[in-house]
A and B are shown apart, each in its own frame.
Chain A
């Protein structure tokens, strides 16, 4: 879904120059007039939201407005800038942009935020346009200086050339360019002229990352910095009542103890000292209402939700009538588990509170949210908060929440003014106090007639992340992110009744890679398979029969099937399972190959076919599918969070495992050639892994597993 506000059509560009005479091209919201002449110097038209700046020495800087968490957005967006400026991307200096929602709001999400596989879709046109405008002004300036028509000038590698007049570099003409009126419409390069987009390129941060040179939030170091560790109430949502402050302060190197309510923090000269002192606090907790929360209570909450009528997400025809009339209809329920994010870099933040305002340094996907949370925690206006976003050691949606930013600021406030403090959560704190992927329950009913599904009903029951984080998007009981994967069902089915029930279950939930796509895909693609088997239809043919109106989707399904050697029935202890969905504007199909027996299952391979439109950085698109598939395996095989007495029972990678090298099969990715505008890619490899494997397990063993993780049903993967 999109919460687009029409910004991409109505953005205006405003050009101004840096005091030193450079050229700055920015992007403004509607309301500012376009076509205004840019000015030189510090007065008047200085634009606060700059993407591209070019200095008189010709150096080009790109302020990247989205956050890098491994998804390669820094390099990919730099490639867009490089394309229109006719530059080698490696010659552009990439920096992280400051918080500036006026310039950097994500048009699909409504804030300066990185998530939902939106960054490329959001920037595809505006960023190229900004770069093309810069180029146009530079060429016009050179042409004017030479007294020749613009059409006689060529651009290459940072230089403008004319057959008779020779060459001027970008740096030579930035001052002239800044003085020119901004053109309202510039032409973007056609696909056929692309020299950067779609071509091989080593990611710009790769070399540093291979040599331990990247600095994440957790690595930030400031002079005079202290370190904080914390212990949160082991029962979710509980509060501190009393603790032995003096016992902690008596320890060498401990500087302060700060009561945060939901947790108690120790501040020391180094993190080990702080973490080691937590035991001395001997905190007494008021466990609060969640003390009775357990798995059974969670399941009961969802079950109660299933009794509600729910909000209608999509309806067509009369499914109730068709299902009661149909010769045989099928009913099934599916459930998915709570999951922790387990980002390898645990949650952390460096905060400084001083008369100058507040500085936070954080691995964050939501710098605007971090700014607001820091301002609130410090009791200052957002204008006095500077967010220094760092490269992230794994996001997966965890870094959309800014709880640790607020905590760090509150701790900083308790220290002498101007003292930086680095708060780091231990792995155990991270695992036991996450914003978990919500559990879900899916009530399915359907029938097959004439080789296609004639009626499908899907009631999705789950708590809503959006109701907590972005409540403005929840309308009439529908959370638009929760219904992705059902509201945008790719199949043409004449009788449809798709509903959702938002049902809180007593703990805080968060966005986890692919959000509800993974959960809805597990239910839908498993159920389609069940309908196929029950009615004697081939699972591929059944899907293709319903995809005639979506040729891009049927194309990837055919590709994945062909590449995997798919067979509808198991052959010599090997079986194939298929799943297909459109998500985030891309089309994905997956065939999983599974061998063995129910006691010793082995995933032999995953065959993906993806149509994401134009692949700006093709190898990194493949890398994202490969990586997201491993997140998919994590959600499928054995990982889960369980609750007892309001406590999360898992604490580290031993009891909340993530896939290891020896558990990950070969992953094959085929990208379709396409001229369509790019779709999202960061998350699209995740949702289909569970249903494809579950479908293969059925084909192999005859066991239909309707809940995740699969091993909870007694099968074993080796």
Chain B
């Protein structure tokens, strides 16, 4: 059994050690918010936070997670998350929405790490995320807006 912290709770799984965290979350823990898009860390749809930093869960064998802290979109809380999700609503970012869990996870991590990112920093943090529907322009504007919201203390 492998034990780790998931969205603030201690959990354990009897999945084989090589099973990617993505599939443990989806098929064994009932958490479908983290998505499968490519299986090779090319698309970002599977992004979770591992010890507070964005990580591609399709590349995280669960065997290496003993004692670590995992947060998924279902457990994402805090002022940066709220700012991002409100900005997502204001700018009407999602279309099909399939990539959006991953996008929001990375956008939130960016703002926690750097509350006042410029355009280049936003692009660098987010370019790893594919959006087949093409919502990139709105993602950029929403992140910049979320940063302004946090700065203003709104």
Residues of A within 8 A of B (CB): 69-72, 202-203, 205-216, 218-219, 221, 227, 252, 270-273, 342-346, 391-396, 424, 426-427, 619-620, 623-624, 626-631, 652-654, 658-662, 664, 666-667
Contact = CB atoms under 8 A, between A and B. Distances in A.
A70 B40 contact: no
B137 interface: yes
B130 A210 contact: no
Contact of A345 (B35, B85, B104, B131): B35
B68 interface: no
B96 A69 contact: yes
Contacts, number: 167
Contact of B39 (A71, A345, A427): A427
Contacts of B9: none
Interface string B80-123: 00000100110011111111110010000000000000000001
Contacts of B72: 212
Which of A344, A345, A666: most chain B Cβ within 10 A? A344
A653 B38 contact: yes
B92 A202 contact: yes
Nearest to B75: A212
25 contacts: A69-B96, A205-B97, A206-B92, A211-B85, A212-B73, A214-B97, A218-B36, A221-B30, A271-B27, A272-B19, A342-B132, A344-B99, A344-B131, A345-B37, A346-B36, A392-B96, A393-B97, A393-B98, A627-B95, A652-B40, A658-B132, A660-B127, A661-B127, A661-B136, A661-B139
A96 to B, nearest CB: 15
Instruction: Give 6 nearest A-B pairs by CB, closest first.
Output: A630-B134, A212-B33, A209-B97, A70-B96, A393-B98, A212-B73
B136 A653 contact: no
Which of B40, B94, B101, B126: most chain A Cβ within 10 A? B94
B134 A210 contact: no
A207 B89 contact: yes
B134 A629 contact: yes
Given A342-B132, A427-B40, A630-B136, A71 B95 contact: yes
A391 B96 CA distance: 8
A270 B127 contact: no
A660 B135 CA distance: 10
Interface in B122-154: 123, 126-127, 129-140
Contacts of A216: 98
Contact of B95 (A72, A227, A273): A72
State the majority secondary structure of interface residues on A: loop
Contacts of B100: 209-210, 212
Contacts of A208: 97
Which of B27, B28, B33, B101: most chain A Cβ within 10 A? B27
B50 interface: no
B96 A393 contact: yes
Nearest to A220: B32
A699 B53 CA distance: 46
Contacts of A654: 40, 42
A59 to B, nearest CB: 24
State the majority secondary structure of interface residues on B: loop
Which of A221, A345, A619, A628: most chain B Cβ within 10 A? A345
A221 to B, nearest CB: 7
Contacts of A207: 85, 89
A626 B38 CA distance: 24
A393 B35 contact: yes
A595 B108 CA distance: 34
B45 interface: yes
Given A210-B93, A344-B35, A662-B123, 19 more contacts: A206-B94, A207-B89, A209-B94, A212-B74, A212-B104, A216-B98, A219-B26, A271-B26, A273-B16, A344-B96, A345-B98, A346-B36, A623-B135, A626-B135, A627-B95, A627-B135, A628-B134, A654-B42, A664-B136
B15 interface: yes
Contacts of B126: 661
Nearest to B85: A210
Contact of A394 (B30, B36, B74, B132): B132
A341 to B, nearest CB: 9
Contact of B129 (A345, A652, A661): A661
B33 A662 contact: no
Contacts of A72: 95
A619 B92 contact: yes
Which of B20, B135, B136: most chain A Cβ within 10 A? B136
A111 B97 CA distance: 27
Contacts of B99: 344
Nearest to A276: B18
A213 B74 CA distance: 8
A342 B37 CA distance: 9
A212 B35 CA distance: 9
Contacts of A659: 134, 136
A482 B126 CA distance: 37
A427 B39 CA distance: 7
B4 interface: no
Contacts of B85: 207, 210-211
A593 to B, nearest CB: 15
Given A623-B135, A627-B135, A211 B73 contact: yes
Nearest to A685: B134
Given A216-B98, A427-B39, A627 B134 contact: yes
B70 interface: no
Given A344-B45, A623-B138, A660-B127, A424 B20 contact: no
B36 A210 contact: no
A225 to B, nearest CB: 9
A396 B36 CA distance: 18
Contacts of B28: 270
B127 A394 contact: no
A421 to B, nearest CB: 13
Given A345-B35, A662-B123, A270 B92 contact: no
Contacts of A227: 27
Contacts of A391: 96-97
A45 B99 CA distance: 45
Nearest to B125: A661
Nearest to A269: B27
B55 interface: no
Contacts of A395: 96
Nearest to A619: B92
Contacts of A627: 95, 133-135
Contacts of A653: 38, 40, 42-43, 130
A664 B132 CA distance: 12
Contacts of B27: 227, 270-272
Contacts of B132: 342-344, 394, 396, 658
Interface in B56-81: 72-74, 76
A631 B23 contact: no
A664 B134 CA distance: 8
A658 B138 CA distance: 17
Nearest to B105: A212
Contacts of B131: 344, 630, 661
Contacts of A624: 95
Contact of A344 (B30, B130, B139): B130
A675 to B, nearest CB: 25
B104 A427 contact: no
A203 B88 CA distance: 12
